[in-house]
Amino acid sequence: MKYAWRIGRVFGIDIRIDSSWLVIFVLLSWYLAGTYFPSGHAHWPILLNWGMGLLTSVFFFASVLFHELAHSVVAKKQGEEVTSITLFILGGVAQIKEEPDEPLKEFSMAVVGPLSSFVLAAVFFLVSVLAAPVSEPVASAAFFLFYTNLVLGGFNLLPGFPMDGGRVFRSIVWKITGDLKKATRLASLVGDGIAFLLIFRGVYQFVGGVGKGDISGLWMVLIGWFLHNASRQGYAQVMIKSALAGLKARDLMVTEFETVPAGLPVQSLVDDYILKKKEHVFLVTVGGELRGIVCLDDVKALPREDWANAPVSQVMTPKDRLQSVGLDADGNAVLASLATRDVNQVPVMEGDRVVGIICRTDVLKVLQLRSDLGV
């Protein structure tokens, strides 16, 4: 999800629309206006088809948003921080800062999503029945929304991580075994299995099965591929959290660092400091006052042809974007600090003094070392 627009705020949660959402909104509206409504109501004028197609698409994505809001509200009631909900090409995703720390919290947060979709399905079914004698367009649109919410709730109950059903399954295994890593591994394996079934079924449907050439087969492949990647990433996140458990900022930080002027060319930083002194993180100052921090990751992000002319101040993380941590900050809190503001380094403070700096590469090295040692 590269580009997202904020369209509002509900219960203190930013609601965003990813650029990829525009694609699925157009495709769904096109299907509704060009196929779904005309197939059952050939007498409808084209403007009515398109009007109901666009309106039904809006209500469908409102249903997806309702589903994600259900997760988010329960998460907030349990003390979790929910920063945003983003609608994208495959549905919606709630950005929850921390994973639940207890099986019951995860169970409650996960199961409410499908339940909310089933509630909406019941509401739309009732609307379709009541509207049938008085408004054919409303009844037809409501029936479509009943069916899609029923499918949405049922699909999310499949026991593959990171779908809602997979999280419910993980919470149960977690409660029984007391081992989050084992529970996540098992739920991820099930998620991978479901993902590959979707991919194979989609390929078969599109290439050679019943309904050969059906474009929905490609859609099934896309969903399977997304689920496979999400399953792997979810397991990796748990492994990272486990690897950093027990580590403090003092264990991850670099204590030997030099100061460089903000106007120093990046090429000089590379030649005179990084290569000669074998250091990779520096405080940036102007007249002795701290203005920011620069590390190897910042330099690598700048095209090499710009190194000669760009000053260090152009690539550094400025002081006002730095989010410092204390010496005894938990390793996962440090990682969260790096991710929260999307920076490459975080200073470690003791009072008003910088006593260390942690770069993303430092965390990655520790994770790789612990992985190699199996600890």
Q: Say which DSSP state 273 is in.
A: I
Retrieve residue 19's tokens.
């650029």
Res. 212: pLDDT tops 70: no
What are the angstrom distances between the C-alpha of 293 and each of 103, 281, 287, 314, 332? Answer: 40, 7, 15, 11, 21
Q: Cα separation of 265 and 129, whole Å?
A: 71
- Which range has the top average pLDDT, 109-113, 235-239, 293-297, 319-323? 109-113
The kind and range of the H/E element at 60 are: helix 46-77
Average predicted confidence (pLDDT) for the chain: 83
CB pairs under 8 A, 24+ apart, for 272-278?
A: 274/299
User: Which pLDDT tens digit goes with each residue over 111-162?
Assistant: 999 999 999 999 999 999 999 999 999 999 999 999 999 998 998 888 888 7
Q: Say which DSSP state 79 is in.
A: T
Least confident of 75-89, 206-220, 265-279, 355-369: 206-220
* Contact (CB, 8 A) for 172 and 106: no
Number of neighbouring beta carbons within 10 Å of residue 281: 25
Pairing between β-strand 4-10 and β-strand 13-18 as defined by DSSP bridges: antiparallel
Q: 274 phi and psi, to 5 degrees?
A: -65, -50
Retrieve residue 243's tokens.
């690897």
Res. 214: pLDDT tops 60: no
Q: Cα separation of 147 and 133, whole Å?
A: 20
Res. 297: pLDDT tops 70: yes
User: Which pLDDT tens digit goes with each residue over 187-209?
Assistant: 888 888 888 888 888 887 777 65
- pTM (2 d.p.): 0.69
- Per-residue pLDDT, 1: 43
Retrieve residue 182's tokens.
């084992």
